[in-house]
């Protein structure tokens, strides 16, 4: 089926065609006709199924069909995280490229004063996190009495984060005549109860079960010792040369350490974790999304708002023993009909874990056997001083993984070094000079990496 047959207007058709949309996904095919009829919807769908486009089209079609004389908030989208709110806003803006609609993201971590101007001028769609939305409501800077559509996106995650009470307070400020759309990857009891209280005879759309569909994802595992895991990762990245790779680690410290090592080996990477400022996290995700870097080292919590459709590889450097987390991680690849690979590093004493993960993903996880030889390791191209030493030019890579390695020029603007030019790789010090202090700093990094990740060449 084509989008035109779903009743999508020419202005939106033009925009989504430019975005590369060809055929609607299952949730779009099932949901858009119901949404355009004004039905309340409960949709069970994972991230990456196209639900944002489905409700974004619904919101924009409503604005097209009934242009308002004054700009009042006509649609409200609630999201669990700042990152997801920003992404949803961007998606709706792209779909509405040829529609006269103002869309604003409001979230914590950004100066609230910066959000007051657009709200005062008037916006049609507000996308926000529950806490910041309540702040504006209590200040009187956000009125919801003209809202026609409310979307609760990733409701189960908002439940996990303790936002249900805030959500109910916000819903109570909206007209009872509104159209309400609820999307959730899973349907726990509390979410079902929320739907019963606030949705009117909702139509149910289910395009996924609690387990993730992984038909486009080839799953592999590599059995390694704790001492060889890092070397195995470096060799694998060097050989596979991934288009876009998302590497999962367990801790914030681990994300920073692994990112340092990848940069040292010449990979173009950045870290993403909760200790980074909102601005730095946004920059990391934007650099990854725009392919300024091709490797992102992330923790689970920090990566929740990341929605990139063409990730080629998901790598579980720290493989989780939680099945839901596993399927959520690997579901970042193989999206929108594209193929992807998921690779998990498993220690010898975790052999039973593979069977558990195969069961929950309902698919075979094949073993990759690797030779761990020093000569297969990528060469070091830069020297990275201690994380607390030398910030800025020739320093680590700026605070929280965003500086430059010696030169401000090169094909990648942040993280990683620029190869070539005047004698080969350039990195730590300007013009390729590597003084004794940097050698000592690099040795320190690698000795600490040995303690944290195991032996490497």
Separation of alpha carbons 398 and 403, rounded Å: 3
In this prediction, residue 439 carries a pLDDT of 45
Question: What is the extent of the structural domain holding 278?
Answer: 217-441
264 and 120 part of one domain: no
- Confirm if 194 and 164 have CB atoms less than 8 A apart: yes
Give kind and range of the element (H or E) at residue 245.
Answer: strand 245-248
Instruction: Count the domains in the chain.
Output: 2
Task: Give the phi and the psi of residue 271 in degrees, each rounded to 5.
Answer: -100, 155
138 and 253 part of one domain: no
39 and 121 part of one domain: yes
Instruction: Please say which residue of 206, 230, 262 terminates a domain.
Output: 206
In this prediction, residue 446 carries a pLDDT of 47
Whether residue 142 is contained in a domain is answered as yes
17 and 140 part of one domain: yes
| C-alpha neighbours within 13 Å on the C-beta side of residue 87 | 26
In this prediction, residue 152 carries a pLDDT of 98
Whether residue 456 is contained in a domain is answered as no
User: How far out from the chain centre does Cα 38 lie?
Assistant: 30
Separation of alpha carbons 410 and 420, rounded Å: 9
Whether residue 453 is contained in a domain is answered as no
In this prediction, residue 392 carries a pLDDT of 35
Give kind and range of the element (H or E) at residue 98.
Answer: none
222 and 186 part of one domain: no
Q: Which residues, 6+ apart, have CB-to-CB distance to 310 below 8 Å?
A: 243, 244, 335, 338
Instruction: Please say which residue of 163, 179, 206 terminates a domain.
Output: 206
94 and 45 part of one domain: yes
Q: Residue 321: is it exposed, middle or buried by C-beta count within 10 angstroms (0-12/13-18/19+)?
A: exposed
28 and 94 part of one domain: yes
Whether residue 51 is contained in a domain is answered as yes
Whether residue 452 is contained in a domain is answered as no
Whether residue 240 is contained in a domain is answered as yes
187 and 228 part of one domain: no
Using alpha carbons, select from 361, 372, 268, 257 the residue that is nearest to residue 318.
Answer: 257
Q: Which residues pair with 345 in a beta bridge?
A: 222
Whether residue 450 is contained in a domain is answered as no
Residue 202 token pair: 């909702």
Using alpha carbons, select from 406, 40, 305, 71 the residue that is nearest to residue 198.
Answer: 40
In this prediction, residue 437 carries a pLDDT of 44
Q: CB count, 10 Å around CB of 187?
A: 18
Q: Residue 297: which CATH number?
A: 3.40.50.300
Task: Give the phi and the psi of residue 165 in degrees, each rounded to 5.
Answer: -60, -40
3-state secondary structure at position 21: coil
Q: Give the CA-trace dihedral at 336, 341, 346, 348, to 10 degrees.
A: 140
Cα–Cα–Cα angle for 332, 334, 338, rounded to 5 degrees: 135
Whether residue 454 is contained in a domain is answered as no
Q: What is the full DSSP assignment across 53-85? A: HHHHHHHHHHHHHS--SS----EEEE-SSHHHH
Residue 97 token pair: 């490229």
47 and 165 part of one domain: yes
295 and 402 part of one domain: yes
In this prediction, residue 4 carries a pLDDT of 77
In this prediction, residue 334 carries a pLDDT of 82
The bridge status of strand 125-128 relative to strand 103-106 is parallel
Q: What are the average pLDDT values for consecutive 10-residue runs of the chain, which has 457 residues?
A: 84 92 86 95 81 95 84 95 90 96 93 92 96 96 97 91 94 97 89 94 77 75 93 94 96 95 95 86 88 94 71 94 82 80 93 86 88 82 43 34 35 37 41 44 46 50
Instruction: Please say which residue of 206, 229, 262 terminates a domain.
Output: 206
Separation of alpha carbons 209 and 331, rounded Å: 13
3-state secondary structure at position 330: helix
In this prediction, residue 404 carries a pLDDT of 36
Task: Give, in order, the Cα–Cα distances in Å from 211 to each of 215, 323, 330, 344.
Answer: 12, 9, 12, 18
Give the CA radius of gyration of the chain. Answer: 24
326 and 281 part of one domain: yes
Q: Which residues, 6+ apart, have CB-to-CB distance to 43 below 8 Å?
A: 27, 31, 51, 54, 181, 182, 183, 184, 204, 205, 206, 207
Q: CB count, 10 Å around CB of 276?
A: 22
190 and 249 part of one domain: no
In this prediction, residue 165 carries a pLDDT of 94
Q: CB count, 10 Å around CB of 56?
A: 27
């Amino acid at each position: 089926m084509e989008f035109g047959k779903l009743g999508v207007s020419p202005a939106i058709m033009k925009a989504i065609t430019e975005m590369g949309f060809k055929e609607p996904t299952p949730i779009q095919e099932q949901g858009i006709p119901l949404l355009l009829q004004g039905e309340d919807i409960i949709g069970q769908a994972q991230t990456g199924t196209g639900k944002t486009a489905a409700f974004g089209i619904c919101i924009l079609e409503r604005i097209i069909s009934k242009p308002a004389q004054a700009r009042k908030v006509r649609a409200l989208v609630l999201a669990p995280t700042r990152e997801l709110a920003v992404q949803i806003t961007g998606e709706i803006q792209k779909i509405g490229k040829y529609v006269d609609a103002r869309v604003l993201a409001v979230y914590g971590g950004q100066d609230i004063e910066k959000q007051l101007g657009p709200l005062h001028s008037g916006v049609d769609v507000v996308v926000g996190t529950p806490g910041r939305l309540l702040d504006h409501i209590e200040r009187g800077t956000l009125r919801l009495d003209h809202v026609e559509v409310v979307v609760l996106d990733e409701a189960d995650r908002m439940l996990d984060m303790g936002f249900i009470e805030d959500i109910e307070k916000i819903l109570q400020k909206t007209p009872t005549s509104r159209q309400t759309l609820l999307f959730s990857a899973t349907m726990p009891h509390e979410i079902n109860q929320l739907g019963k209280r606030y949705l009117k005879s909702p139509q149910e759309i289910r395009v996924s079960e609690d387990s993730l569909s992984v038909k486009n994802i080839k799953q592999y595992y590599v059995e390694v010792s704790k001492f060889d895991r890092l070397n195995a990762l470096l060799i694998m990245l060097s050989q596979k040369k991934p288009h876009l790779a998302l590497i999962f680690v367990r801790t914030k410290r681990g994300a920073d350490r692994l990112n340092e090592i990848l940069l040292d080996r010449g990979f173009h990477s950045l870290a993403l974790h909760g200790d980074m400022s909102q601005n730095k996290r946004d920059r990391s995700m934007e650099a990854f999304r725009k392919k300024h870097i091709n490797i992102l080292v992330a923790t689970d919590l920090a990566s929740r708002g990341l929605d990139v459709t063409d990730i080629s590889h998901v790598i579980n450097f720290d493989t989780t023993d939680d099945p839901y987390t596993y399927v959520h991680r690997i579901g970042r690849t193989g999206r929108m009909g594209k193929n992807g690979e998921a690779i998990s590093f498993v220690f010898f004493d975790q052999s039973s874990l593979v069977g558990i993960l195969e069961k929950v993903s309902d698919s075979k996880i094949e073993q990759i056997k690797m030779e761990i030889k020093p000569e297969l390791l990528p060469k070091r191209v830069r020297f990275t001083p201690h994380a607390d030493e030398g910030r800025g030019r020739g320093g680590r890579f700026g605070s929280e993984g965003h500086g430059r390695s010696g030169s401000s020029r090169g094909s990648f603007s942040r993280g990683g070094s620029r190869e070539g030019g005047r004698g080969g790789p350039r990195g730590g010090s300007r013009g390729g000079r590597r003084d004794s202090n940097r050698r000592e700093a690099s040795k320190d990094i690698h000795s600490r990496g040995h303690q944290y990740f195991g032996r490497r060449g």
